[in-house]
Structure formats: C-alpha cells, structure tokens
Structure 1
Amino acid sequence: MLRKGMFIGDRYEVISHIGVGGMADVYKGKDHKLDRYVAIKVLKEEFRGDKGFVAKFRAEAQAAARLAHPNVVNVYDVGDEDGINYIIMELVEGITLKNYIERKGKLTVRETTSIAIQVAMGIEAAHNLNIVHRDIKPQNIIISREGKVKVTDFGIAKVASSRTISSVTMGSVHYTSPEQARGGYSDAKSDIYSLGIVMYEMITGRVPFDGETAVTVAVKHLQEEMVPPHVYAPEIPVSLEEIILKCTQKSQERRYANVAELLKDLKQSLVTPDASFVKIISPDETGKTMLFTKGDMNKIKADAYGDNAAYADAYGADQNGYAQNGYADGYEQGYADQGYGEGGYDDQYAGEDGYAGDGRYDQNGRYADDAYGGGQGRYADDYDPAYEEGDYDDDGYAEDDYDEEDYEGDDYDDGYDEDDYDDSYDDRRSRKKKSRYEDEEDDEQGELNPKLEKLMFVGGIIVAVIIACIILVLIGKAFGLFKFGSKSNTDQQETTEDSGQVEMPKLVGEQYSDVQKTLTSLGLLVKATYQEADNYEEGQVMTQSVAEGEMVKTGATINVTVCSGKEVISLPSLEGKEQSAAEQALKDLGLTADTQFAYSDTVDVGKVISTNPASGSDVVKGQQITVTVSQGPETKTGTVPNVVKMTQADAQAAIIAAGFKVGSITEGSSDEVTEGRVISQSVVSGTKMDQGKTIDLVVSTGSDAPTVPNVVGSDFEDAQETLEALGYVVKEETQYHATVAEGNVASQSVAANTKAAKGTTITLYVSLGPEPAQDHTQAPEEGQ
C-alpha cells in the first residue's frame, strides 16, 4: 500500500486509495508537473517478483499509452520506482456501466445505442493501432459525470491473460467470445462479440448466458443458441436486435468484419430503427470441413509466438512458460483489474469488486486445448465441484510448476508432418535415434520420455488401487458391512444436476437471518410471515412449509412463520399518494419512514413511486419503511454537436446520439455547401441544453447561381444591361484593341458559361479602337 502524501517518479503525489482490482491497487493522485489529477494503478506485491509478468505489464501499458481517444481512459505514463510498478492513467469521475445497469434495471433503446456507439468508437481507435482489448465488459466501461463513455484497461487484459491463474472469473466469462472460451485465436472480432453481449445486457437487463459456474457459462457460449433480445425487451427495434445478433454470432466469419461496419449500422439504427438493413451471413451448411495441416498449425503458432513458436508448441505456453493455450484470454480477468473496487467508490471509476473469481480450475484439464491433448469434451470430465468460490488460490500453478524437462526432449520432432514422411530421411535418422513418428505402430510403442514413462507407471498403480477400493466398498455395501446414514452423506445436502433437488434442513428455532442465508446457498427462495408468540424469541422461525429431510426442487419458495415479538401490521398501499400523506400514514401505524427520491417518467412529482417492503407485506411496529418519492422525469444536459456540412443522415445520427431530437428539415441553395449536406443548424454547436429538445436543420440543394453569358463583341451598354439583369455588378475598363471596334467589349473577367453567384463583380474591357501611331521624328539637338 502506498502512503498518502508520498511521491512517485518525483511528480505524482498519492492523495487517497480509491479501489482495488485483481492485480492492482488504484489511487487518486496529482501530477504536479502538469497540475492535473490522475489515477495511479500499482501492481500488487504478489506479481512484482515475476519478472516475465512485470515485463509484459510494462510492454502492454506502453502499447496502450499510444492510444489517445475521447472514448478511452487514456494511459499517460508507466514506470517503476523502488520495486513499485505503476501506470498513470486519466482520472474519470463517474460510474461503471455495470453499476448503471444495476441501478436502472435495463436501459432504453436510445441509451443502449448511444453508449454502444461511443464504446465502439473507442474500440475502433484501438483496433486501428492493432490493440485488441480481449475483455470488453460493463465493468471496464465508465460513464463520466458529463455523460462521456470511456473504455478502460486496454492492453491490461492481454497481460493478465498471459499469467497462469488457476481461476476463471465469473465477471469476464459472461462476455467472452466462443473462440476465447475454447482457448483459440482471438482477434478484433472477439471484441465485437463481447460488445454484442454488453449491448444485450444493456437492453434486456440480463446477460444471455448464465450459470452456477464459469465452466457452465463457457459451454453455453460455445453450444447454446442465444434467446433473442425481444423476448426480454419487447420494445427493442428490429435493427438493434439484428445488430446484437450479428455481433454475437458464434462463428467469427459471420460477425461484423470490423468495428467501422458496426458503427455504420448503429448510426443507421438511430435514424431508421424499425428498418431491417443489417446483413447477416447465412451459414453454409453444404460447405466442406476445413482441415488444418501440421504446416498450418506451425504457421499459426509462429504468428502467435514469433521466434519462440517451437518452444510454445512443446509447452502449450507463452514465452514465459505460462500455460496460455489452456485458458481463454477473457477468462482470467480476476487479474485484469476491473477498474476500481466498489468499496472505494467515490464517483471515481466505480468498478466492480475487483476480483469475482469462481474457484480453482485444473490448468491441465479445464479448458484444455490441443497443446494438452484435450479439448472441449474434457470440460465435464475434469471439472471438480468441490472447488467453490471461496477456494480460489492462484499459487497452485506458478511458473516453477512447469518443468521444461517434462516437455522437451530429444525425441520431440516439431517439424514432423506425417504427409511428408520420407523413408530415406528416417533411415538416416535411425542411425542416431529411432524416430518417434516412424509409423502408426511406433506412434503407440515408440520410446517415451523417462519421466513420462514413470508418471504413467505410477498413475496406473493409483488407478488400480482406486478401482479395487470401489469394488470393496460396493461388495461391503451389498452385504450390509457399510452403513450410509442420511446425516453422514453430505451428497444429500448438495444440489444434483440430475434431479435439481436439495434436502430441506431444519429451520424451526433458527434465526430468520440465518435461515435466509441457508436457503439462498441451497438455491431456494424464502417468504416470511410474522406472528406474535410467547414460546419463541423475536426473529426465530416457528414453522416451515417443507418438513426437514424432504427433497425440494431448487428455485422453490419456502414459506416460514417468524416470531415478530411485536404487533404485526399489514403495510397498506402508498403508491400514488403525496409524500406528506404517505409519511403521516406510516406514523399513524407506528412505523417510521425513510424517504428517498428517484426520477420517474410515469409518477408525478412529489408522489410515492414504491415502498420497501412492498404494500401488503407483514411488518412490525417500529419498523423503518423506505418510501421512494418521484422527482419527475430525469432531465439531462447535453452539448449540441456541430453538424454543419455533414450529410443529412450523419447529422441526424449525431443529434440523436447526443440525446436531442431532430426538428424540421428545410432545404436551401448554397454556393459553398454541396447538395445533401447541412447548411446550418438552429442551435449553435457547443451549446449546453436539456436533452430531448429539438434541433432544426437546413439542407443544401446545391448552387442556384446563374450562368454568365458571353458578351464579348457586344456594345458595352447592351452588355452591361444584360449582366445587370442577371444580378451581376458591372465594372468598365478601356483598352486599345486592334480588331474590336471602339465601344464594343473586347473581353470579360468571368468566363462565359460558368456559374457565378448574384452580386459578383464582372469587369468588361471596352475597346478604344486601334492604338494611334506614334511620331518617331527626333527634334534637332541644340546648337545644330
């Protein structure tokens, strides 16, 4: 932890600790050199000893520092001092998109589209610099107090994914792409998929794929079809739903080719929301399966690891020996610092709880890629339900656990390709050592690495012992030698995937607060009814609707009767009442009111929106009731954008994205603005005004300037009359001309048959006739 008042880099003063993430602590600081407040992100101590990780941390931060965009939380500086590795970032006062969604439940179509456009613009700027985020999620999107949307942690997500972490965070797995879930190659289209999931959550208030474990969610990303957004948000327009569905296609080829295409459709959706213009590529079900050769795989590995491709092939790891192929990049974001911890929220980067990990996962089994001889099918086999959330431990798979000798040996032939097999080559090589890949028989019976051979031998013994024990237990149980009572069998307390049931515990006599926790942990709901009683203490459960020991389906509601200890009152309905009347009604019942205020589009100012507990609930005298009173519709202030000289469609999209409405659109001619573009707007750009107000536009029909006629050779007075009739100003100048008669126009300053605006000055050069001959006779000199 840094101390308040200390300086880093001789310029950054630590002011306060404002949050904590998976891999870093975050502080508010002040840059005394540039006199501005900044965010200081400091790498946690447990990562500082890993030189490889620190090097990647610095490299990725420096790469992200190249990215400067209004919709990105900018990185200003990166460095280290006395073993402290830090990043200096832009300090944004605001709230994360995740918190915003949680507060509102779900967002409007306009909010969803506007936020998506700003996020996409930030992502596009990064992609243009070959920076892929790999962890787009609401926790990494910040809405400032001014309404500006910014994406944070560019580059940091990639660093965290290169660290061997024995957990898959639930916070990231909900937004990860299928290719990341299977541990495959991720690129810019992975960010597009994640943004599609974020848009889905904004408009529906929920993520499309959810489950009790990260593994469950990951498999759903790979296998399950998404429930269309309109099922949960009937108000969603056709275009926005099609955009979300295209972003979240499981096949990368069927998504948007780039963010620019996505932005184009999002802007068009604001203008024509109910039009079906999104082009979704239909799957080619008749196409042939693509087969990758050994050479193709080597090429992919070479692109991913550069000079260390062979090393990565042998280890299934990155350059530092960390297992990378075994995990999808987006899953390890418990260490991808989700911004700022909720506990440190003071309108400063309000992030989630830092790390929301889902438990330990076996690196060599869970999410095992081909580098470990596994694949998608190993998820269920290797998953251990004993690893619950509280068991998270990232010390189990440190770099030292990967022994190079276990993976690298003389027998390993990285260049082998069975299709390119050459007998003569094998004959030459067999003089030194028999090839590991000589033929199919040798592939099964060839020489093994000594350590691997020993490991297989020991493993075989262990498996044999386990099988023998199982057989003995089954025999003993059949003959009644082993008793398995219900109390000793903890499996009866577990939720089973086959039955979806749990055993009901004893609730009577327990405190209601403890009962709530117990039932919640079992996946059950609870509803309480309060009654007075002499033989129970206040808060104790007196009855339960399901008897102890019975099996009940998860998700069921258990009714309990709780001793009130005081008089029980049924809370009346206060919705729609004036604030003062509602507070007086509670007071008359012996209850206290905790009045809060919220915006509402449907409830008049000063009237009750809702109460907590809800009306009809049983409450006891003296209990505090939260009363939410309407402040009326929320009014937000926005900045009017400059749309002059934009196309009409772009101008409309920009106005709507800023929170305003497009008013009347009139047409007018212009010599300076081309046809179809905006000549002027009714409100000056940069003006602050309430969102929802209208802005009128004038769109150009092109120039209406007349065509200049040819008046050369005409009498000056006739030419002057002709030009002035067209609205031009005529200026006369005279000159000698050998071929044009005196008084006629010899030339004009504006060429004939060109368009010139009315009021343009045209100079006519009028002939004086031929120039008079000069007398060249010299006068006699004086004295001659």
Structure 2
Amino acid sequence: MQDVPHDPLIGSTVDDRYLVLSKVARGGMSTVYLAKDTRLNRNIALKILHPHLATDHAFIERLQREAWSAASLSHPHVVQIHDHGVGAQHAYLVLEYIDGHTLRDVVNSRAPLTPRQALDLLDPIVEGLAAAHAAGLVHRDVKPENVLVSHTGWVKIGDFGLSRAVTTTTNTGTLLGTLGYIAPELVNGEGGDARSDIYSAGIMLYELLTGQQPFRGQVPVAVAMQHVRDNVPAPSAAVPGLPAEMDELVRYMTEKDPDNRPANGASLLEDLRHIRRTLTPEELDAGGSRGGSRPPQAAETQALTASFGNDGGYPGNLTEALGNAGAADYATSVITPPPSQHTSVLPPVRRLYVDDAGRAEPHDAPYGTAAAGPGAGVDHGIMASGPAAPSKREARAAARERARAASQPVATLGSAHPRRRAALWILAILVLGLLVAAAGWFLALGPGALATVPEVHNKTVAQAQAMILAQGFERAATSEVFNEKTAAGLVVDTDPTGGTEQRKFQGVTILVSKGPVLYPVPALAGRTLADAKSALTGGHLAVGAVTEAFDEKAKAGTVIGQHPDAGTEFRGNTKVDVVVSKGPRPIAVPSVVGKTSADAEAALEGLGLVAAIAPEQVNSAKVPAGSVVSQSPDGGTLTAGGTVTLTISKGPVMVEAPSFIDQKASVAESALRDLGFKVTVKYTFGFPVLGRVADQDKSGLLPKGSEITLTVV
C-alpha cells in the first residue's frame, strides 16, 4: 500500500494558537485550512498565504492595511475577519468559518432560479455590500465563488480581506477583477467604486435567473471588451416568462455608465425590496428550472467558471482576474485607475413610501413585507406604473421628487400655551441632565467604566479570578483550551488579553490550559507495516524505529509489537516504535542416520521437529536392525513443527552357508560366492597339493556378504 502524502501543517499549531485540523481548499494566493482557535475553543478558517507572497514585504504591508479596514466591518451577511499575523514561516488571515457551500454550487446545481429564489439570495448579498459601502469599503470581486451559504441557509459575502479602504480623498487604488463579472470602468482603467460592485451583482443576478453568464468568448480580452461595448441581454430572452421587472432590474444594475446605476448597495437594496413587494406570486415563481431542462449554455457556463489550468490552451474561464490577453497562461494582473477618481462614504438607507395624496412616510419595513399606514401598497419606486412614465428609472426619480415636496411644510402652526411649553422644555432639560449625569457616572465610575485586564498568565484559576474581580470586573468566567506550553490547570491567557482596557460590566473570560493536545496511539498488531504507518500519520503521530523479529505465528511483514502501547495518549508527532515479524525461525535438519529409532526421534523433537517412521523397513548390511537407514529430508532447514521421515533397518539378509570340508576347493569357493559370501582361500603348504578343503571357518546361517575362509590342502 502506498502512503498518502501528508500536509505538514495539519496537526501543527500556528502562532501558538491555531491548531490546523484539515485542508479545505487551495487557490492561487493561499491555502485555506479548517483550524481551531485553542484560545477561544472555536473553529475558524485559516487562510495561509503561499510562501512567495509571504516573503513579499510590500504585499504583506498592503494586505495588513486592507485586513484592518475589513476587520472594522461587522455585519450578519459579511464573513468576519478575526485576526491577521505575519511570522517567520507564515503570513495568514483568520476568518469566520462558514460550514456550507458557495453560491457557485447553487448556480451549478439549481439555476435557472425563479425571481423569488434569485431575490431571496441576492437580498442578503446586497445588504452586506450596503454595509461595506457605508463603512467606506468596496469589495471589487463580487461573484458566486465569494458568496457563502451555510447549511442553515444563512448567506454571507466573503473575501473583503483584499478590499482597500475608500476615502473621500483617495480612489480605490489598484483593482483586481473577475472577467465574467468585471465592470466596464475597471476594464477601461477608470477606477472603480461602489457602483462597480453593483455591476458585478447585476451580472450575478442575470446568472441566477438564466443559469449562464451574459458574455462569453474564446479569449479573455474578448469577454472584457463585451463588458465595455455590449449591453447585458434581458434575462427573459434566455428564459421566456420572466417578468419585465427583472429585465429592467438587470439592465439598471448593469448600465455601462456608472452614473446610471444605483449609487451604492443601500440604494440597490431599496429597489430590490420594492420590486419584491410589487411582483405577484405568479411573477415571483415564473421561469426557473421546474418546467424543463436548463438552458443550452448551462454546461458551457459551468465550464467557463471552472478554475484555470485545463489541458487546453485557453481554458475559457471567466472567473479569473483580468490579465495580459497576450500571455499564454493569462496570468493575473492589475488595473491601475487614474488618481482623479474619488469615492465617498455612502449614507445608510431608509425607504420612503408616498401615498396618492402626496404624503411621504419614511418606513423601514422588514424584508418581504408591505408598508403600513398611509400609502401602504402604493410605493412609487423604480417600477412605478402609468402611461406617462417613459422608464422605471424616471418613475422612481419622480416619486422621490414628490416625496421631497410632500415633506416641505405649507403652513406654519401658531404656538399654543407658551407657559406650558416652557415648563415642558424645563422638564425635558432636567430629564436630559439626569440622563447625562447617570451616563457619566455609569461610564466613569459605574459598571461602564474602563478597567485594565490584569496579566494572569500561569496563575491558578482562583488567583486569576481574584485579580480580575479586584479590578472591578463583574464576571470572570473560565473556558478550557489546549496549550503546548502551559501546564494543565493554569491560566494561558484572558479574553481580552492582559493589558487591554474594557468596560467592567463586560467581564473577562479566563482561558485555562487543558495541557497539550493528546492523540491516542492506535493498535498496530496484525497490520502490515504500510497500514501501521498510515494509521500513525493519520492519528497525528510519527513512525519511530522499525525492527524485525522471528515469530512462529505471525506472517512475515506484519506488526507483532509496538512501543508505546495502544491506547496511551501523547502529543502530536510523537514517535511510535514498531516490531515487524520475519516469520517463523528456520531450523537446520540434522543427520540421524545410524542412530537407533528412539535416539533419532529424541534428537529431532528436541529441535522442535516431528519424527515420522516410514511404514516399510529395509535390510542393511551396515546398519543394525532398529537403527535409521535413511531420512527425508536429509538436510536443509524446516520451521518448528516440520516433519522428518525416518526409514528403519531390518539388519542384513541371512543366508545358510553349507560346509564344504573334504570337497574340492574350486567347487566350494564357487558355491559360496554364488550364495553372496566373500571367500578367502588359504593353502596349507603354500600351494594346492590335493586341492580339497581341509577346514572352513564359518558355516550355517550367516549374514549375506559375510567373509568365509577356506583352508585348502
């Protein structure tokens, strides 16, 4: 089994605070990890810049300024930036972690959407942009990939970390855009402001309604020039049946001239909600993908929004930053607007309802509700009806003019009971004075007064609580966190940190160490070595020394031992030693030929082998009966329990040897040799005289092959 490559950051702690749990995504500028803030014990998204950017000091300084600006924005529909850091190894942003998916996933799986569905999704996006514009921030890269939808359905717009603060004296500076959604003024290098975000949101609305982007081309510069030259087509041309109000809204948001678009997110939000109220249920549920298949270009749109890096020369991706059109790989570049462009901080929004009599009533109705009171349901907005209105935009302007006129008083009311009014003024001033005095006491001496959080690192909980309460704070709650450096039970830090000033009534949270993060050692016995290594690295531990040993039961290559034992807990990357089986120990087979049967069996069994006696015995002239004549195997090695087969001797073959005394020596010698004996002839006189046998040393039943001596006269 091949080992899976392991990201070295997973399981480590960045800046002694953020425990990296898993990788979420990797982009052109950074890698995003799911991490745990060990100080506050919560999940966060940790965006770590790639090394080549982390060493670019100019880029880091710009990112830090932009992160400060974005962190000042707090809104329910904007992903919050919690922290930013630059260390020796990493530069990172800490973001709110949203457990869900992106709007791109919604487009790919469900578009085209009905106007009701599209407005439901666009409303919180524009509300988040409105808050950003009011705070002086321009997003500059509004697209489905930067809109997050949680599993509970909450919509947030993210990636404000790369925005630049907008002031009344400076423009937006260097702008990054996405080709499929980039505003014409950015392509022309004229600088961008809040209205550039409105244009991108209009393109995104078109895509929600039709399932495709309005402009497509073979090369990026062709798409960019379509944004400059061509008007965005009406969504109803791609999805028949959509109400004309949606066509008008898309056209209004995507005007080529920024002056003809809504001024900011707040203005657009007012128009969105007005349209939502004026559409009938049938119009809100028109279009969509309920009645048929997706548009023919749906697959093409999805391909155009895929990531760069396809095998083809031009990948067709419109969701990348506008780059050098002549470059082979269309690398990301920047558009620098001229310094004369300026934008200003945008005011918050209130919606104004005007009735038929010309009375104006400001009203902040919740999303999806109609105005109450005078003029309810008669909202003269961008979609005001009437044959004299040549366009929705002019109708909206006329309605606002009538509202301003209605707000001007036409008569002056005389004063009544001046003494009573004077008394009321005095009473009001006294009440106001009391309120000011109470607020002064509350903020200066009472629970609202500022106090400095004491340094309580490495103190016990009791000591820390006593020090915090002594400073006047009303609460000193505790929260446990993992920490590699502080012993369990002692204080790691406080939230807010020591030395910070905070209102006394807000209280302080004491972060108590649970000690380092410990990981259990997995059971490795019986696994292959590859499986054991994978289990250790997957459990945030490391492989230590690997040794081998013989084992009579375990298969070669499997784990038979480990240290430390399974179930014990250690810090991340602790090494675990592993013992791997080499299989059963080999046993050399000894030679037991010539030994008695009992001695041979004892010798083999003493080595752990098994002796088996062959059923047939054989004669042997050399090996006495009852002893081993041969064995199988007669050498080599066996493992414990191996069998050696022994063949036992019956002794020699017995033959009857007759006596040949007084017979011819030649006849006797020939007869004995034919019977299988060895014959030795001796002469009494040194040579034969009579040629007869005078003596024979052996006769009777003898072993075949025995030697018989004949004495010849």
Fold shared by both chains (TM-score > 0.5) = no
TM-score under structure 2 length normalisation: 0.40
**Normalized against structure 1, the TM-score is what?**
0.37
- Which of these two proteins has the greater Rg computed from alpha carbons? 2
